[in-house]
Amino acid sequence: MIRPTAKTIAILCAFLSFAAGNLQASDKPNIVVFLTDDQGYGDLGCYGSQTLKTPNIDQLREQGMKFTDFYVHQRCSPTRLALMTGSHAHRAGCTKVIYNRDRIGIHTDEVTTPELLKKAGYTTGIVGKWHLGEWDAFNPTRHGFDEFYGFMVDLDQGTGIYHNRERVESIKRKTDGAHSPKLLDAAIQFIEQNKQRPFFLYYASPLPHTPWIPNERFIGTSQRGTYGDVIREIDWQVGEIMKALDASGIADNTLFIFASDNGPVLGIDGGDAGPFRDGKWTDFEGGIRVPCIMRWPATIQPGSTNRQITGIIDWLPTFSAIAGVKPPDGRVIDGRNILPYLNGDPVEQPIHDSFVVPGSVIRHGAWKLLVRELKPGGKSGREGKRPSAPAGSLFHLETDPGETTDVSAQHPQIVSDLRRRMDAMVSELETNRRPIGKLPETSTAGTKTILKKRSK
């Protein structure tokens, strides 16, 4: 295994030297979330790839549950906002990618997933990519995490690696594989340090986002070029975390989740959305339906498959149920507790009968209606001349997962019903929308100049 320098090891030791309180060992399960960045549905062996080898993630699937209909948002920050709040990003105030020039981030009034778990006695840590506000006011340690080791983008200094609120290294690219050993060691040492008490570890990988810069040990190791090499690197990281859980004797009592934040970037020889149409920046299935695997040996049946509608909005209420703490009051939470699925309990009706991207698309059962026109590739400019899909298009996902054939003319009643459901959802959301966090407007001429330069 690759090891970082002595300086980095010293920093990582500092990462672990926080006050842990007097919590006693608990039988509450640990929770590890491994979230990748822009990985497609078809980019794993266990999701049908014939060219990418992912033995560790495939093993995770063999030991756990594969989700076939798991939904996120079509871009980075909104998905992470949904993870933290249990709500659609539209409800939590932001559907765009959050940059430091925006002067926005997760609102201080949001009750986040780590804040809830801390109430239940969990130690909470995040390693990697935050992307919910690049300013100090939005630092993860201000929103429920005991420890943070990962990336932030300072307005003046550019991208850096931070330990909590301190910048410890300036870097050029988050996606440089040179950083993978640092992140991995931080995660493993967090596990080792907290194995006697319940913990929540959010490993937010910056991979396989562009530019692809694999760690040197993985260059040339795949059949899919540089992109495939980065996928091999991700698989290695997953395997090392699995080994750490085994070595610490806590694997059986740990819920380990692997998922992606949105579909693959388009127009370059990289990610694969599998059977689905399009990818990142779109609300076609290729942009919002992603791989998700959950392993919890003490609870989840090995090799099982869940084909129900689920999503990243469900993690907050599910984690709350696992930890024995109530979800936040006084606000609408869009997610649902899917613990019955993990337990293998009989469920008379699906926990979700619909998945909605407010104002854009609604899936109800096997039917999907586009409320607005969907353009391929969103704003990426890489989509070529592939066709758009007009508003009012209706697809039957069981027989047409690639959304190729509009059947709205044959099913006007279904179109009418789905429009009614969407209208009701949007009306309710407008009534119960929450704001995104904002910094005061700057009046410093120098700062305005930097903002203008960085926005170009």
Q: What is the pLDDT of residues 108-121, one digit of tens each?
A: 999 999 999 999 99
Residue 136 domain flag: yes
**DSSP 8-state secondary structure symbol assigned to residue 314:** G
Among the listed residues 131, 228, 126, the one whose alpha carbon sits nearest the alpha carbon of residue 183? 126
CA dist., res. 300 & res. 298, Å (int)? 7
Domain count, the chain: 1
Q: What size, in residues, is the chain?
A: 456
Give, for 438, the enclosing helix (H) or strand (E). Answer: strand 437-438
Q: How many Cα atoms sit within 13 Å of 257 on the Cβ side?
A: 27
Three-state secondary structure string covering 195-227: CCCCEEEEEECCCCCCCCECCHHHCCCCCCHHH
Residue 35's domain is classified under what CATH number?
3.40.720.10
Q: What are the CA-CA distances from residue 149 to residues 7, 35, 172, 202 (Å)?
A: 14, 15, 17, 11
Question: What's the rounded Cα separation, in Å, for the pair 445 and 418?
Answer: 50
Distance between CA atoms of 363 and 396, rounded to whole angstroms?
A: 9
- CA dist 67 and 65 (Å) reads 6
What torsion do the CA atoms of 111, 117, 123, 129 make, to the nearest 10 degrees?
Answer: -50
Cβ proximity of 376 and 266 under 8 Å: yes
**pLDDT-derived band at 17, boundaries 50, 70, 90:** very low
Residue 87 to residue 93: CA distance in whole angstroms: 10
**Does 259 score more than 90 pLDDT?**
yes
Of the chain, the percentage scoring pLDDT greater than 70 comes to 89
Kindly indicate the confidence band of residue 2, based on its pLDDT and cuts at 50, 70 and 90. very low
In the structure encoding, which two tokens stand for residue 31, read together?
């929770």
pLDDT of residue 243 exceeding 50:
yes
Cα separation, 68 vs 47, whole angstroms: 9
Classify residue 315: in a domain, yes or no. yes
Task: Please state which of the ranges 21-30, 93-102, 165-174, 354-363 shows the lowest mean pLDDT.
Answer: 21-30
Chain-centre distance for alpha carbon 164: 21
13 conformational bin, left if phi > 0, alpha if psi -120 to 50, beta if neither: alpha
In a domain, 342, yes or no: yes
Kindly report which listed range (221-235, 258-272, 325-339, 375-389) carries the lowest average pLDDT score.
375-389
In this structure, how many other beta carbons lie within 10 angstroms of the beta carbon of residue 367?
Answer: 19
Residues 6+ apart with CB under 8 A from 159: 151, 152, 153, 170, 171, 172, 173, 174
pLDDT at 207: 98
Residue 380 has pLDDT above 60, yes or no: no
d(CA 368, CA 362): 6
Instruction: Specify if 116 maps to a domain.
Output: yes
Q: Which long-range contacts (CB under 8 A, 24 or more apart) does 154-158 make?
A: 154/100, 155/100, 155/101, 155/447, 155/450, 155/451, 155/454, 156/450
Q: 53 vs 153, 213, 242, CA distance in Å?
A: 33, 18, 17
Share of the chain above pLDDT 90, in %: 86
pLDDT at 269: 84
Decide if 435 is inside a domain: no
* pLDDT tens digits, one per residue of 391-447: 999 999 999 999 999 999 999 999 999 999 999 999 999 999 999 999 987 544 444
In a domain, 137, yes or no: yes
* Domain of residue 262, residue span: 28-353
Identify the band that residue 373 occupies on the pLDDT scale cut at 50, 70 and 90: very high
In tens, the pLDDT along 275-330 reads 999 999 999 999 999 999 999 999 999 999 999 999 999 999 999 999 999 999 99
Query: Which run of H or of E encompasses 306?
Result: strand 304-306
pLDDT bracket for residue 26 (50, 70, 90): low
* Cβ–Cβ under 8 Å, residues 326 and 320: yes
The whole-number pLDDT of residue 451 equals 43
Residue 18 has pLDDT above 50, yes or no: no
Residue 370 pairs with which residues in a beta bridge?
Answer: 361
- Residues annotated as part of the active site: 76, 131
Residue 299 lies in a domain: yes
The number of CA neighbours under 13 Å toward the Cβ of 149 is: 28
Nearest to 390 by CA among 371, 373, 411: 373
> Taking 50 as the threshold, does the pLDDT of residue 450 lie above it?
no
Task: Please report which confidence band the pLDDT of residue 456 belongs to, taking 50, 70 and 90 as the band edges.
Answer: very low
